[in-house]
Structure 1
Amino acid sequence: MVSSPVAVGSGVFFSFALLAISLFVLLLLRRFLTLRATPAYLTVPIFLALALPASVVLLVPIDLASSSRDGGAPKGIWLPDRVVLVLWRIAYWLIFLLTWIVLPLLGEFIDSGYREPKDRILYSLRSNGRYQLAVLGCGIVGLIYISIQNGFDFTSIKALVMALAYVWGLILAIYLMGHGLVSIPRTLTQNANASGRLRRIQARAPKVHDRLMDAITDLEELEAQVAQLQRRKVGTAKDFQEWIEELAESSSLPESRPMAATTVNESTASVPAVVTERYLADLTRRLQRARHQRARFLDEWDRLVQSAADTQAVIDSTASKKLEFGRQSPHASFLSRTTLLNPYLRYHLYVNILPSIRYTLAAILSIASVCIVWSELIKSFAPQLSFISLTVVPHPSEPGPIDFGGQVVASAWLLYMCFAALVGVNDAKVWGNRALVRRNTYGESACWYAGQVARLTVPLSYNFITFLPGETRQNTTFYKFLGRLIDLTPLGKGFDYFFPVFILLPVCATLFNLYGRVKSICSFGLLEEEDDPENNPSGYGTGGWREGRDLIERELNGLGSLGLSRSGGNARQAGGAARGGSVSRPAPTMWVPPAEGSRAPRSARTAAVSSRVSEPAIEEEEGNFFQSLAHRVRNTFETANIPQWMQGDQLPRPRWMAGDDGGSGGDGRGGLARWFGDRFAEGQLRL
C-alpha cells in the first residue's frame, strides 16, 4: 500500500488541473460566445462538451501511471484504481450522451425558427429522427448478430453500442488527423515568409469578399420579405403580426440600404399569398442563418485585411529597421498590440525571431507527424518499434512504472493528435455554413463544433494507448472499461490495428495536393485549399492576387464597397467597431460604390475589379530570367500601336484619283470619271 500523502498530493494536483481546464474552457467560450446573452441551456452543455474531452487528455496519463505502479512507489501523478474507473465512466457516458443526443437536439432546437418551445422541440425531434432511426437500424442489425454469437445479455448490448460509437469516431478522427498532421507544419513554414504570406492573403481576398457581398445581398433579400410582410395589415399576415413585428425590429433594412423600396417591390413575388406558421418559421430560420453568415464573413474579411496590413508593415520595415503597426483593430494579434517593445525591437521580433521560431516549430512538428504516422503503420506487427512507445514507456521490452516525464510526453502526444484532428475539422468544407466567429458564433454552430470535439477525443485517446506495449495497455483502466468491450465484438476486434493504416490516404492527399486536383477535375472540393499564387503568377483573372491587393487597399483607404453594409444596426455591432479602429487611413478620394441591392454575377464583379487593377504594376514579377523575358516580349506586342491601315479604316486615295477638292470625289464626278465620259452606272463603265 502506497503512503497516503502521495495520493493526497496527486489528488490536489488533479483538482487544480481540472480547475485550470474549466477556466480555459470559460475563456474559450467567452471568445466565441456572448456569455451574458447566451442562455444557460446552451452554455452548460457546450461547456461540458469541451471540458470533458480536455479532462480525458489529462486522465489518460494518470491512468497509465496508476495502472503501472505494481504495488511499488509511483513516480508520477496517480489515483486509486476505483477513482480512475469512476472518472472514466462519468467522462465517457456524459460525452456519449452529449455527442449523440443532447447537442444534436439542442442545435436543431436553436435553429428551428419557431417561437414556442413546444414547436421547437417537435421540430428538433423531427429533424434528428431520420438520423437517429438510421443509427437505431444499424444497432438492431448488429444486436441480432451479437445475440446470435454471444447470447443476449446486457454486456453484449453495451459492447455493441460502444463499438459502434468508437468505429464511427475513429474513422472520422483518423482521416481528419491525417490532414492536420501535414497541414500544421506546412502552414508554419509558409507563414514564416512574410512576402509569401502576404501574397496568399491577397489571393484569398477576392473569394472572401465575394462571399461577404453574397451574404449581405442574401440578408437584404430576406429583410425585404419581412418589410413586405410588415406592410400587410389584412389576411393571414394579421394573425402573425406580433411575430412579423419582432422580425422587423431586428432588421436593419431602412438604414443599411437606401434602395430598400426597390428591392421590396422586386421581392414581392417571393412572399406567398397565404402566410402560415411554417413559412414564418422557415423565414426566421433563414434570417438567423443569413445574419450569422454575414457576421462570419465580415469577421473573416476584417481579419484578412488586418493581417494584410500588418504583413505589409513588416515587409516595409526592412528599409528603416523600425516596425510600427499604427492603430490596431480588435482582430490584431496580442504581439502587434503590445506597447512594451520599441519599434526597433519589434522589427527584430517579427523579421528575425518569429520566422525562426516558426521554422523550428515546423521542423519539430514535422518529426512528430512522421512519428505518429509510423506508429500507426507498425503497431499491429512491430509495436516495439513505435516512437511513441519508446518516448512514453521507459523500457518497452520490460515495461515498468511510468514516471512524471512519461506522463508529460504522453499528454503532449495526445494533445497534438487531437489538435491535428481539430485543424482538419476547421479546414473541411463539407460541414455547411458552420463557423466559429469571435463573440458572435451561431448557437447551432457552437453545438456542432463542441460535439465534434467530444466525438473525436475518446477514439483518439484509445487509439493512442494502442501504440504502447500490450502489457502496459491491458493493465490500464481505460482498456478494462472500453478496450475489452471493443475487442469483444467482431466489429471492433482488430479494427483499431488495421484501419489506421488508411491514415496514408489523407496524408498523401494533403501532402501532394490531391484535393486541388480533384477539385479542378470534378469542381468539388472537400477541404479548404488556399489559392496558390504560383499557379497564377500574373495575378489577373478570377480570384487573382492583384485583384485581392486592390480590394484590400481600397478597404484600408476607406474606399471599399462595404461602407453601406456597415452602416446598419446589426452590421455596426458586428463590424463597425473593427472598422473604426483598424488602421490609419488617408483622406478618401472620389469614388462611388456599387449599388448594394444589385446581385451582380461573379464574372461581372471580377471584370470590374480586373479593369481597375490593370494599371501598370509597381513591383516586378517574381520568376526566373526566361519567365521575365517571356513577359517582356508579350508586353511589347500587346502595348505596340496598331498601324492605321490594320485598323479597318479606308485608305486615302491619291490626289490624281480624287476630285477637284482633293477628296473622294463627292458624288463620283471628277478624277478618273472625266476620262470615261463623266457618266457611269453602278458597276458599269462607258468606253
Structure 2
Amino acid sequence: MVEIAVSSPSPVPSQVFAVVALFCISAVVLLILRYYLPLRTTPAFLLVPVFFALWLPASMVLLVPIDLASSAMVDDVDARGIWLDRRALRVSWRIAYWLTFALTWFILPILGEYSDSGYREPKAKVLDSLYANAQYYAIVFGSGALGLIYVLISYGHFSESLKSTVMALAYCWGLVLVIYLMGHGLVSIPRRLFRNANISARLRRIQTQAPRIYEKMEDAEMDLEDLELQVGELSRRKGGSASLFQDWIEELVDMTNLPEPLSGRASIVRGSGDQISVPNVVTEKYLAELTRRLVRAKHARLRYVNDWNRLLQDAVKTQAILDSAASKKLDFGTAAPNAGFWDRHTPLTPYTRFLLHYYLIPYLQIALAALLSIASVCIVWSELVKGLFPKLSIIRYTVIHHEISGKGQVGFAGQVIAALWMVYMCAAALISITEVKVWRGRALVRRNTAHESAFWYASQVARLSVPLTYNFMTFLGGIYRDTVFYDFLGKLINLTPLGKRFDYVFPAFILLPVCATLFGLYGKVRRVIGFSGVDVLDDDDDDEGADNERGTAYGTGYSWREGRDLIEREVNGTSRSRRAADIAGGGADRPGRPVLTIPPGGGAGRGVTARGRGPTTPFATSPTTAGTATTSRPQANTSARRVGRRAGIVLDEPEDENFFEALGHRFKNTIDTLDTPKWLQDFGQGIKKPKWMGVGEGQVESSGSSRIGGNMDVRRWFGGGNSEGRIRL
C-alpha cells in the first residue's frame, strides 16, 4: 500500500494545465465578443450571459479529452496525458451542463425578447418578453409532458423519470439540429476553400453577389427612410393622445436621421403623404411596435452596408491580385482605418506579397481543403457505422491507442487529436448557423451586432454543444461508457429503447444534408419552385454558371457583368449616389474626384434618381473605407414593392409570412408588373383593312373609328351603305 501511494502521480500538473487552458479560452471568447460587440457600451445583462454561452461549449472541448484520459484503462498512468479526479470531473460536467441548459431554454430566449421589445419600462419589457415566449414554452412543456408519460410507462419509476425526460428530450432536439447543420458544414467548408483557391473564379463570384447585396442594402435604406418619415409625421402632432408620450416621441426623433429644419415637412421633401400611416389615437403599444421596427431597420441597414463594404474590399483586393500577374508586384495601397495590424504594418515587399497571395495562399487553401475533405469523409463514415459496426469507426483509431479487448489508452496525443476533431465538428455546425436564413434578418455584424441577434446566436451555440459533445464520444466505441459524462448523461439517454435507437440510428441521416449540399439540391429546388425565399441555407452552387442555370442574363440586375459594372462605378467614384453625396456635401469640387453634370431626373435610371427618390436625395452611407457609399443601378421591374415606391406608395408587407402567402404575392406582383409587349400594343394599327371593310370610295377611316353610333354602319360590311339602303351581295 505504501508503494502504491508513493508511485501514484499527482493531479496538480494536470490541474494547472486545465486552469491555463480555461484562461486561454476566456481570452479567445472575449476577443470574439469584442469583434462583434463594443464592450464599453454593451450592457452587462448582454455580455455576461453571452460570454458564458460561448465559454461553456468551448470548455467542453477541453473536458472531453480529459474525461477520456481519466477514465480509460491504462498500463502506465504517467502516459495518459492530462487527467483529473472523477469527483472533479463530475462537478465540472454538472456545472457545464445545467448552466448551459438554463441559458439555452430560459435565460437567453427571455433576454433576447427583452432586448427586442420596444417598450421603455423594464417591467413592460419583461411582460412583453414573457408573452412573446409563451408559445415557445407551451411547445417545450407539451413535448416534455408527452415524453414524461412515455418514460413512466417504459421505465416504471418516478425517481429518475422527470430528469431523464428533460435531458433526453433536450438532447434529441439538439441532435436533430447538429446533424443537419454539421452535415452542411462538412461539405461547405472544404468546398469554399477549393473555390477560393481559384482567384479568377473568386472574383466572378464576388461580382455575381454584388447586385443582390446592393439591392438588399437599398431595400433596407428605404425601409428605414419610411419609418423615419413616420416618426417625422408623428413628431408634428402636439396635442391629443400624442401629448401623453412626448418624451417617447422625442427619443424616436433622436434615433432618426431627419434634419431638424426638415423634420416637420419630411413628407413633402422625402416622400409623399401616402407613405405615412400614423393612427389617429397614439397608444403605448403602437409606439412600442414603432420603436421595435425602427431599431430593427437601423440594424438591418448596418448589416447590409457592412456586407457591401466588405464585398467592395474583397473585390478590390482580388482584382489587384489578378492584375499583379503581369508586373509580379502586388500593392494594396493605403490600409483602411479599421484594417488589422498586419494589414497596416507588413514587412513584405511588393514582390514577396505577390508570391504570397498569388501562389502560396492558393496552394495552402487547396492542401487544407483536401485535408478537411478527408476529415469530413471520416466523420460521415463514423456516423454511419457507429451503431452496427463500431470497430470500423476511423475516428476511434485516431484517438484511442493500445486498444485491448474493446478498451484502450488515451494519451496526450490522443487528447490533442480528439480536441481537433471536436473543433472541426463545432466549426462545421456553427458556420452553417451563420448561413441559415432566419426571420427578423438576424446576422453577426462587426462591432454592430444587434442585441437580439447576439442572444439568438449565443443560444444556438449553447444548444448545440452538449449533443455534439456526446455524439463525438459515441464514435469511440465502448470506451466512452466508462467516462463520467456517460454516467451523467448517457445512461439517461439510453434509459428507454426509443432513446437508445434514436441516438444510434438518427445520425445516419447526415447523408441527407451532405448530399443536398454536395449536389446543389437547394439551388435546384429553388429553380424548380421559382421562389428564392424558400432557401434555408445558402447554396454556393448557384454561383457557378449563374448566367445559364439561373437565367441571370445581362439587364436583369443579377449577372456578374452588372455586378462588375456596379463595383467599378462605386470604386471609381462615378456612381450616381456617390456624385449625389458629393454635391450635397460640397465634395464635388475636390481634386481627384470626377465632376460630372447631373441632369434633373424624373424616373428611375435618369440623373441621380434612385427608386423614386428625388434628384437631390443621396443615400445615407457609412463613412468607412473606399467604396463605402452605395450606388444606384438600373434594375428589372419585377417587384411590385419597387413599383409602389416609385409611385410614392408603400405596399403593406407582413414581416413573417408563410410560404404560400409569399408565393402568391410573388405571382401577383409578377403579373401586375408585366409590361405589355410591343407587338401587342401595335396590334391592329399596322394591319391594313381589306377593301370590302372600307368606309367608301374616297374616304379613309382610322383604325380606331369602329364605334357604335359613329360613321361606321354595319351594312357597309356587306358592301351596302348607299343612299338607297340596298345590300349588295
Q: Which bracket does the TM-score occupy, shorter chain normalised?
A: 0.7 to 0.9
Letter in 1 for 2:452: E
Shift of 1:156: 1.1
User: What's the counterpart of residue 322 of structure 1?
Assistant: 329
1:497 aligns with 2:504: yes
1:22 and 1:249 map into 2 onto residues whose CA distance is 37
Letter in 1 for 2:463: R
User: What's the counterpart of residue 419 of structure 2?
Assistant: 411
Shift of 1:490: 3.9
User: What's the counterpart of residue 618 of structure 1?
Assistant: none
Greater RCO, 1 or 2 (C-alpha within 8 Å, sep 6+):
1
Query: What are the within-5 Å matches in structure 2 for residues 218-229 of structure 1?
Result: 218-229=223-234
Q: Percent same amino acid at aligned positions?
A: 54
Shift of 1:560: 3.4
Aligned length in residues? 598
* Contact preservation (8 Å) 1:224, 1:260: yes
Shift of 1:605: 3.5
1:420 aligns with 2:428: yes
In 2 relative to 1, CA 268–311 (structure 1 residues): closer, same or farther, beyond 3 Å? closer
1:446 aligns with 2:454: yes
* Contact preservation (8 Å) 1:533, 1:539: no
2:567 and 2:637 map into 1 onto residues whose CA distance is 15
* Contact preservation (8 Å) 1:221, 1:267: no
User: What's the counterpart of residue 143 of structure 1?
Assistant: 148
User: What's the counterpart of residue 395 of structure 2?
Assistant: 388
* Contact preservation (8 Å) 1:325, 1:336: no
* Contact preservation (8 Å) 2:66, 2:84: yes
1:465 aligns with 2:473: yes
1:534 aligns with 2:549: no
User: What's the counterpart of residue 455 of structure 1?
Assistant: 463
Shift of 1:551: 1.2
Shift of 1:603: 13
User: What's the counterpart of residue 507 of structure 1?
Assistant: 514
Q: Cα deviation per residue 1:276-333 (whole Å; 9 max; x = unaligned)?
A: 0000000000000000000000000000000000000000001110000012335656
1:455 and 1:518 map into 2 onto residues whose CA distance is 29
1:593 aligns with 2:598: no
* Contact preservation (8 Å) 1:418, 1:460: yes
Gaps of 5+ in 1: 573-578, 610-647, 650-687
1:89 and 1:361 map into 2 onto residues whose CA distance is 37
1:557 aligns with 2:572: yes
* Contact preservation (8 Å) 1:321, 1:347: yes
In 2 relative to 1, CA 181–132 (structure 1 residues): closer, same or farther, beyond 3 Å? same
Q: Cα deviation per residue 1:34-90 (whole Å; 9 max; x = unaligned)?
A: 111111011100000000000001110000001115585142001000000000000
1:280 aligns with 2:260: no
1:525 aligns with 2:538: no
* Contact preservation (8 Å) 2:570, 2:578: no
* Contact preservation (8 Å) 1:389, 1:396: no
Shift of 1:491: 3.9
User: What's the counterpart of residue 22 of structure 1?
Assistant: 26
User: What's the counterpart of residue 113 of structure 1?
Assistant: 118
Shift of 1:420: 0.2
1:390 and 1:565 map into 2 onto residues whose CA distance is 64
Letter in 2 for 1:536: D
1:378 aligns with 2:372: no
Shift of 1:410: 0.2
User: What's the counterpart of residue 710 of structure 2?
Assistant: none
Of 85, 91, 94, which residue of structure 2 is paired with 1:89?
A: 94
Query: What are the within-5 Å matches in structure 2 for residues 106-185 of structure 1?
Result: 106-185=111-190
In 2 relative to 1, CA 88–204 (structure 1 residues): closer, same or farther, beyond 3 Å? same
Query: What are the within-5 Å matches in structure 2 for residues 595-674 of structure 1?
Result: 595=610, 598=613, 605-607=634-636
* Contact preservation (8 Å) 2:580, 2:608: no
2:115 and 2:608 map into 1 onto residues whose CA distance is 37
* Contact preservation (8 Å) 1:323, 1:344: yes
1:547 aligns with 2:587: no
Q: RMSD of the alignment, in Å?
A: 3.0
Of 12, 15, 23, which residue of structure 2 is paired with 1:11?
A: 15
SS in 1 for 2:556: coil
Letter in 2 for 1:560: S
* Contact preservation (8 Å) 1:63, 1:84: yes
1:473 and 1:347 map into 2 onto residues whose CA distance is 49
Q: Cα deviation per residue 1:242-284 (whole Å; 9 max; x = unaligned)?
A: 0000010121122899994424542565111110000000000
Letter in 1 for 2:396: S
1:251 aligns with 2:261: no
In 2 relative to 1, CA 271–436 (structure 1 residues): closer, same or farther, beyond 3 Å? same
1:603 and 1:557 map into 2 onto residues whose CA distance is 14
Letter in 2 for 1:410: A
Q: Cα deviation per residue 1:119-175 (whole Å; 9 max; x = unaligned)?
A: 000000000011101110111122122223323423111110000000000000000
User: What's the counterpart of residue 212 of structure 1?
Assistant: 217
* Contact preservation (8 Å) 2:229, 2:276: no
Query: What are the within-5 Å matches in structure 2 for residues 477-488 of structure 1?
Result: 477-488=484-495
Letter in 1 for 2:384: L
* Contact preservation (8 Å) 2:557, 2:634: no
* Contact preservation (8 Å) 2:403, 2:409: no
Which TM-score applies when normalising by structure 2? 0.78
1:69 and 1:16 map into 2 onto residues whose CA distance is 26
Shift of 1:431: 4.6
In 2 relative to 1, CA 501–273 (structure 1 residues): closer, same or farther, beyond 3 Å? same
Shift of 1:337: 4.0
* Contact preservation (8 Å) 2:402, 2:409: no
1:561 and 1:506 map into 2 onto residues whose CA distance is 43
SS in 2 for 1:232: coil
Which TM-score applies when normalising by structure 1? 0.82
In 2 relative to 1, CA 178–352 (structure 1 residues): closer, same or farther, beyond 3 Å? same
In 2 relative to 1, CA 182–387 (structure 1 residues): closer, same or farther, beyond 3 Å? same
2:497 and 2:454 map into 1 onto residues whose CA distance is 35
* Contact preservation (8 Å) 2:117, 2:125: yes
1:40 aligns with 2:44: yes
Query: What are the within-5 Å matches in structure 2 for residues 220-239 of structure 1?
Result: 220-239=225-244
1:201 aligns with 2:206: yes
1:268 and 1:325 map into 2 onto residues whose CA distance is 45
Letter in 1 for 2:482: N
2:528 and 2:281 map into 1 onto residues whose CA distance is 45
In 2 relative to 1, CA 255–240 (structure 1 residues): closer, same or farther, beyond 3 Å? closer
Letter in 1 for 2:146: V
* Contact preservation (8 Å) 2:154, 2:496: no
1:3 and 1:414 map into 2 onto residues whose CA distance is 33
* Contact preservation (8 Å) 1:558, 1:585: no
Letter in 1 for 2:476: L
In 2 relative to 1, CA 290–52 (structure 1 residues): closer, same or farther, beyond 3 Å? same
Letter in 2 for 1:391: T
Q: Cα deviation per residue 1:520-558 (whole Å; 9 max; x = unaligned)?
A: 112221211244252316655330011111111111122
User: What's the counterpart of residue 436 of structure 1?
Assistant: 444
User: What's the counterpart of residue 400 of structure 1?
Assistant: 408
* Contact preservation (8 Å) 1:256, 1:565: no
Letter in 1 for 2:47: T
* Contact preservation (8 Å) 1:214, 1:599: no
In 2 relative to 1, CA 12–566 (structure 1 residues): closer, same or farther, beyond 3 Å? farther
